[in-house]
Copies of this chain bind each other. A is one copy, B any other.
């Protein structure tokens, strides 16, 4: 898979060095420096012993100009795996600089899933050119992969797998594995299929190896197989691997026939990607992030979210405007009102965060939704009372008016109770409506807590103080 270069010094062959971070800031600086001085050989020497994934990280960390220089210096020595491992925004820019024929050559060397991943974001004309430059057999497999929906099992699977009939014995399997050339690069299980090529069992390699040659496959196979329909969403595939600790899984078509396999290393990437998407969406950033986009692309993406936020902020301001006269008479209200809104927003965000995450991991469902909603209302109420007392006391002392403390305390209880309920109901409702709650729940929530916070506080003030 990788360069056979030993990462360990010969004198100390076995000192554990925890080589988790091969791409150190120092390495990036030295490579950039060499490229700036046009010493391509020096840069290549620094890069030569790196794993493809580390080269990809290095390219991502370099300035765009240095990145192009390094790609050019690497030339045909560029490992296709590097292209597959690149962040998609960086990859798009790198591929622009490479001829379709070279991309085709790289794609032909990769697993089907990685090859599809490599060219899926190219524009149609460019994609066609690359596909036409590929060997026919590879092209067909990649085209078949691209025909499945984005983020489906069909995109994720490799078309190479190992399948045997159930009447074979261990010896036959081993002999066949030794003789057959066209096998996947990596596999952890042997799939057992019936005459119509439908999986009926799996045999982990460690089990096949530990049994005598004459042992029949049907006697040692697992029959509780976790099959992946080819149209299954990758998030559900990842759930299944995580839930059942799978190393690989057979992918089957609508007729139940074996089409390919998904291995756990691909699933690790999916899990990282899905978690990243949730984190980004909760923070109001597009799912794939924008670290590697240029400022203008970044502004374009982020401003959409900020426009929505501006609208909600104006709604909150309209709420305040209702009570303009009240504020004119008691300016202390203007000073204190952000506290009520802010506390509601934060308490609601806590509930929302737990709810969004639990929905993603299937821990929050229709079965326990009502119970958890009730719990969040209790939590909101109790926290409301606690912070009503604290904030009320602070406000009363600050402005020398116990009645102001009473008003802010009551408003705090109302807003934190509402925050707890809204923090659950909004994501539950969005989820039921088929919308990803991570994307939009936060904006609805803070609109609610701002409006309720300002309205309760200023409204109560008008009622009680004037």
Contact = CB atoms under 8 A, between A and B. Distances in A.
Contacts of A450: 338, 342
A48 interface: no
A362 B21 contact: yes
Interface string A235-250: 0110111111111000
Interface string A263-282: 01101110110011011101
Interface stretch (A54-62, A94-102, A118-126): A54-62
Interface centre among A19, A24, A334 (most CB of B within 10 A): A334
A204 interface: yes
Given A53-B245, A324-B335, 18 more contacts: A7-B224, A178-B209, A183-B210, A245-B268, A268-B271, A276-B361, A279-B356, A282-B282, A283-B350, A284-B350, A284-B353, A294-B375, A306-B387, A307-B390, A309-B343, A309-B346, A316-B342, A342-B446
Given A18-B228, A310-B391, A317 B289 contact: no
5 contacts: A87-B363, A283-B353, A303-B386, A310-B343, A312-B342
A128 interface: no
A228 to B, nearest CB: 7
Nearest to A209: B177
Contacts of A11: none
A430 to B, nearest CB: 16
Contacts of A347: 302, 306
Taking residues whose C-beta sits less than 8 angstroms from the other chain, chain A's interface range is 35 or more
Interface stretch (A71-79, A139-147, A364-372): A364-372
Contact of A264 (B2, B19, B268, B275): B268
A379 B293 CA distance: 11
Contacts of A212: 178
A252 interface: yes
Given A16-B254, A223-B4, A354 B386 contact: no
A320 B333 CA distance: 11
A14 B283 contact: no
Instruction: Pick the 9 closest A-B CB pairs, nearest first.
Output: A283-B353, A275-B275, A14-B256, A28-B367, A14-B198, A25-B367, A25-B366, A334-B334, A245-B265
Nearest to A58: B367
Interface string A1-42: 111111100000111111111011100110000000000000
Nearest to A416: B306
A285 interface: yes
A327 interface: yes
Given A245-B265, A264-B268, A367-B28, A342 B313 contact: yes
B346 A305 contact: yes
A16 B272 CA distance: 26
A436 to B, nearest CB: 14
A161 to B, nearest CB: 12
Given A223-B4, A386-B303, A338 B313 contact: yes
A298 interface: yes
A44 interface: no
A447 to B, nearest CB: 10
Interface in A298-353: 298-299, 302-303, 305-307, 309-310, 312-314, 316-317, 320-321, 324, 327-328, 331-332, 334-339, 341-343, 346-347, 349-350, 352-353
Contact of A61 (B223, B247, B283, B367): B367
Nearest to A371: B63
A224 B3 contact: yes
Nearest to A15: B256
Interface in A436-454: 446, 450
A154 interface: no
A51 interface: yes
B206 A188 contact: yes
B343 A283 contact: no
A435 interface: no
A28 B271 CA distance: 26
A291 interface: yes
A331 B320 CA distance: 10
